[in-house]
Amino acid sequence: MNKTALFLITFFMLLGIAFLSYYYYTFKQHPKHLTVYGNPGHVVRQFSFINQEGQTITEQNLKDKIYVVEYFFTTCEGICPKMNDNMVAVYQTFRNDNDFMILSHTVDPEVDTVAQLKRYAQKYDADPTRWMFLTGNKDSLYKMAVDDYLIPIADSTVEKINPTFIHTQKFVLIDKEKKVRGFYDGTDAASVKKLIQDINELKKDYE
């Protein structure tokens, strides 16, 4: 083998090693940073709701957790069944992860009592420590949706009980600092798959 051939082989080997090192450092060790939504400094504030077990749940239950938020109601015959069928994929992926949780808020608390939510949760075999179905004061539930989770009334689906009835297909991703990090179409399997990917990427930020 002449010196030129040896030089070229060595050169391309070193080039390949450099590329693999760059790829690992950039995409494995330092994953793409997800967008932070809302005005600078926006975070989810204090709240107090009741889950399907009759337990009071506050922001303290979400301390050091990544979580996904949705709004639904148990008697919905439109988008909600599809949303929660898709949410099962998220739940099954992270059901054994102590740093993850799902919060499903009712938009119809007059109907969705604790007992009603528990029956509904059982259809999805939902572990109440991992997937919580929440009820409470209607004004507080709606205020959280708009002011904290940044779900506008105008973005709600056409199905409405009244002009202020929030019925959105959005899933919202929240990080451990309670910042909003993503919005996803809960009726679309591809969008939910992207949510799962983004959760995994976000988890890398805390490794």
Query: Domains in the chain, please, with CATH?
Result: 48-204 (3.40.30.10)
Smallest CA-to-CA distance from 174 within 49, 55, 69 is with 69
Each of the 207 residues of the chain gets a pLDDT tens digit; together they read 565 655 545 545 655 554 444 444 444 444 468 999 999 999 999 999 999 999 999 999 999 999 999 999 999 988 999 999 999 999 999 999 999 999 999 999 999 999 999 999 999 999 999 999 999 999 999 999 999 999 876 544 434 444 456 778 999 999 999 999 999 999 999 999 999 999 999 999 998
Tokens at 163, concatenated: 């002009």
Tell me the three-class secondary structure of 122-162, residue by residue: HHCCCCCCCEEEEECCHHHHHHHHHHHCCCCHHHCCCCCCC
| pTM for the predicted model, two decimal places | 0.81
Structure tokens at 99: 């740093």
Residue whose C-alpha is closest to residue 79's, from 187, 190, 204: 187
Task: Determine the Cα–Cα distance for residues 107 and 104; give it in Å rounded to an integer.
Answer: 10
Q: From CA 171, how far away is CA 97, in angstroms rounded?
A: 19
